[in-house]
Chains A and B, each alone.
Chain A
Amino acid sequence: AQSVTQLDSHVSVSEGTPVLLRCNYSSSYSPSLFWYVQHPNKGLQLLLKYTSAATLVKGINGFEAEFKKSETSFHLTKPSAHMSDAAEYFCVVSDKPGANNLFFGTGTRLTVIP
C-alpha cells in the first residue's frame, strides 16, 4: 500500500532563511515522487519530480528535494525563502504501474515572514 505523510501542516520561516518541508512515503513498488505547489485560489503547479536517475532533484524557483530510500523520505528544501514562496505544498507519490491515482499528502502551508 502506498501513502504519503507530510510531517508539518504549517511551516513558518523568515524571508532569506532556509526552507525545509518534510515528506515520508511508503510504497510497495519503486515510486515516482513529486512536489506540487498551490498558491491561494490557484491550481497545482509541478515543482519537481523524482526519476530513478538522480536522488537529488532540482526544481523550479530554487527548490530541490532529495530521495532517500533508506529513510523513505523526499524532503523539499530551498536555501533562501522568498515572499512569493508562501503557498501550500503537496508531496505526492505514484507507484503502482497501471494505476492512475496520485496519492497526496495532506499538505504543508508555508508562511514567509518579512
Chain B
Amino acid sequence: DAMVIQNPRYQVTQFGKPVTLSCSQTLNHNVMYWYQQKSSQAPKLLFHYYDKDFNNEADTPDNFQSRRPNTSFCFLDIRSPGLGDAAMYLCATSRDRWKGGGINIQYFGAGTRLSVL
C-alpha cells in the first residue's frame, strides 16, 4: 500500500507557466520534505514542513514555493518554470525531526518527473 503518494507521475509544462505538484501521505507524519533530483544527480532538499512550520533551504530559488494545508497534503508550486527546473521531484515524510540517537527514517514517494517545454 502506497504511503507517500505523488501526483501526477509525469508532468509537462511550458516555459514560464505555473505548475503545482502534489504529495499526500497516509502515515500521519509530522514532517514533509520536497527534494529536486536532476538527471544522474543526488536528490537535493528544497524545503520541509515540520507540522505547519515551513523551513526553506538557503539556496532554494524563490521560484519554488510550498503549501501544506493539512497534515496529509503538501504541494510544490513552481511559479515560472525554466528549462533548468526540469527534474524529478521527490516528496518524503518522517515521523518527526531527528533529535539524535536512534533513527528517523524518511519515506519517499515515487516522484513526479517534470518536463519543461
A residues lining the B interface (CB < 8 Å): 29-30, 32, 34, 36, 41-46, 49, 51-52, 90, 94, 97-102, 104-107
Contact = CB atoms under 8 A, between A and B. Distances in A.
A51 B103 contact: yes
Contacts of A97: 98-101
20 contacts: A30-B101, A36-B108, A41-B111, A42-B111, A43-B90, A43-B111, A44-B92, A44-B108, A51-B102, A52-B101, A97-B100, A97-B101, A98-B98, A99-B98, A100-B50, A100-B94, A102-B106, A104-B42, A104-B43, A107-B41
Interface in B52-104: 55, 88, 90, 92, 94, 97-104
Contact of A100 (B31, B42, B110): B31
Given A32-B98, A41-B113, A100-B33, A90 B42 contact: yes
In terms of DSSP, what is the predominant structure of the interface of chain A?
loop
A30 B102 CA distance: 10
Interface residues of B, number: 32
A1 to B, nearest CB: 15
B45 interface: yes
A108 to B, nearest CB: 11
Contacts of B101: 30, 52, 97
A102 B107 CA distance: 12
Given A43-B90, A98-B99, A106 B104 contact: no
